[in-house]
Amino acid sequence: MHPIKKLDKLPPKRGKVETLEILRQLSKSSKALGELKGIAKTIPNQAMLINTVVLQEAKDSSEIENIITTQDELYKALATCGKSPTQVKEVINYRKAIFTGYDIIKKQGFLRLKDIETIQKTIIENNAGIRKLPGTVLKNDKTGEIVYTPPQEKDEILALLSNFLDYFNVNQDDLHPLIKLAILHYQFESIHPFYDGNGRTGRILNILYLIINELLDIPILYLSSYINQNKSEYYRLLNSVNKTDKWDEYILYILKAIEITSIRTIDKINHINDLLNETIKIVQEQEPKIYRKELVELLFEQPYSKIDFVVNKLNVERKAGSRYLKKLEKIGILKSQKIGREIVYINTKLIEILKKH
């Protein structure tokens, strides 16, 4: 058995988390994130933007846990009320957990242990809560070798979580919040307070931290896709902080992830916004009688639309809702598809953007 090194409380020694290289990368990361914050503000319908980005994140983040859903399966499940396969359900739970967390911090401006438990419970859909029984270890997926043993005693877990929450909520020093985000993420994963769902819960805490610190106004920056693409590096670096208390490489990784992901998200937002404006123009020109801005925006809130959505959003009769969607199909904006007994209308160009970015 490998020697168990006790997890230290926060904060780490400043010199270990604020090297020259980290400060250089930090300035690039915070510049990109600042741009993302600015661009997000210019999008007229914030709900639309949040919805699409969060949906994508729910899919990417669940994939790290090997819950693979195809984009098509997911959108179909969201548009229809039928029973969805377990994997789809997990993705939908994750999305719900993001919104739950976002609502909590918007309302109260800080995070309590109870809130973390609520988020995890929403993802996992069970009441097991904080670990009570020993035995949880982190293993290498391929070799089965134990790579890290998190704290085992409930009292120790609770003490570390309380220290984590102090660092999360209270600005004790003038360390940059992006460096603190990296530290907090490591610490949360290493406390590993739950039997399962620690990764996904931790990735939601990241976005909440950005919002609490006003680095973003809305929940649109997610590192899951980057982590997915650089996964073995991610595990290796977490591991190396466990073993050697060397933080710099790990912090650089997270800062780099923030920079790259901000740039990619800006690009995605620009594409979506261009498509929205282009769609508005086409409808105005070719079907001026049915044109309403809210109608077009609805097509961007979820890539699949149906009559019910139009009825609810525009407060019109079913017959009118159906006619609008048919007309939009006729001019090539939507494509209908029968799923079970329902007809859904797909914004195919939006799906293309979401798949590519």
Ligand X SMILES: Nc1ncnc2c1ncn2[C@@H]1O[C@H](COP(=O)(O)OP(=O)(O)OP(=O)(O)O)[C@@H](O)[C@H]1O
Footprint of Mg ion (CB under 5 A):
65, 196
Q: Is 65 in the site for ligand X (CB under 6 A)?
A: yes
> Which of 17, 26, 14 minimizes the C-alpha distance to 256?
26
The least CB distance from residue 343 to ligand X, in Å, is: 35
Radius of gyration for the alpha carbons in the chain, expressed in angstroms and rounded = 22
Q: Is 222 in the site for ligand X (CB under 6 A)?
A: no
At position 13, the amino acid (one-letter code) is K
Tokens of 136: 């949880």
- Interacting residues with ligand X between 7 and 46 (CB under 6 A): none
User: Among 128, 147, 314, 320, which residue sits at the site for ligand X (rule: CB under 6 A)?
Assistant: 147
Q: Is 72 in the site for ligand X (CB under 6 A)?
A: no
Which single residue brings its beta carbon nearest to ligand X?
Answer: 199
The least CB distance from residue 198 to Mg ion, in Å, is: 7
Q: Is 152 in the site for ligand X (CB under 6 A)?
A: no
Report the Cα 195 to chain-centroid distance in Å: 21
The least CB distance from residue 34 to ligand X, in Å, is: 26
> Which of 178, 177, 222 minimizes the C-alpha distance to 203?
222
| 148 interface partner picked from ligand X, Mg ion, none, CB below 5 to 8 A per type | ligand X
Stretch binding ligand X (CB under 6 A), from 99-107, 234-242, 248-256, 311-319: 234-242
SS3 of residue 346 by DSSP: strand
Binding mask 114-143 for ligand X (x = CB under 6 A): ------------------------x-----
Binding mask 180-219 for ligand X (x = CB under 6 A): ---------xx-----xxxxx-x-----------------
Residue labelled with tokens 């704290």:
151
Q: Is 238 in the site for ligand X (CB under 6 A)?
A: yes
The two counts, helices (H) then strands (E), for the chain are 16, 5
The least CB distance from residue 124 to Mg ion, in Å, is: 9
142 secondary structure, DSSP code: T
| 261 interface partner picked from Mg ion, ligand X, none, CB below 5 to 8 A per type | none
User: How far apart, in whole angstroms, are the C-alpha atoms of residue 357 and residue 56?
Assistant: 10
| 147 interface partner picked from ligand X, Mg ion, none, CB below 5 to 8 A per type | ligand X
Which single residue brings its beta carbon nearest to Mg ion?
Answer: 196
| 10 interface partner picked from ligand X, Mg ion, none, CB below 5 to 8 A per type | none
The residues that bridge with 139 in the sheet, in sequence order, are 146
Residue labelled with tokens 């600005």:
171
User: How far apart, in whole angstroms, are the C-alpha atoms of residue 54 and residue 203?
Assistant: 12
Task: Label residues 166-177 b or e (16+ Cβ within 10 Å = b).
Answer: ebbeeeeeebbb
User: How far apart, in whole angstroms, are the C-alpha atoms of residue 315 and residue 304?
Assistant: 19
Q: Is 282 in the site for ligand X (CB under 6 A)?
A: no
Instruction: Kindly report the number of other CB atoms within 10 A of residue 129's CB atom.
Output: 13
Nearer to Mg ion, 30 or 61 (CB): 61
Nearer to ligand X, 243 or 293 (CB): 243
Stretch binding ligand X (CB under 6 A), from 7-15, 51-59, 104-112, 237-245: 237-245
For strand 342-346 and strand 304-305, is the pairing parallel, antiparallel, or unpaired?
Answer: antiparallel
151 secondary structure, DSSP code: -
The least CB distance from residue 172 to ligand X, in Å, is: 23
> Which of 299, 289, 307, 293 minimizes the C-alpha distance to 333?
299
Task: Give the residues lining the site for ligand X (CB under 6 A).
Answer: 64-65, 138, 147-148, 189-190, 196-200, 202, 235, 238-239, 242
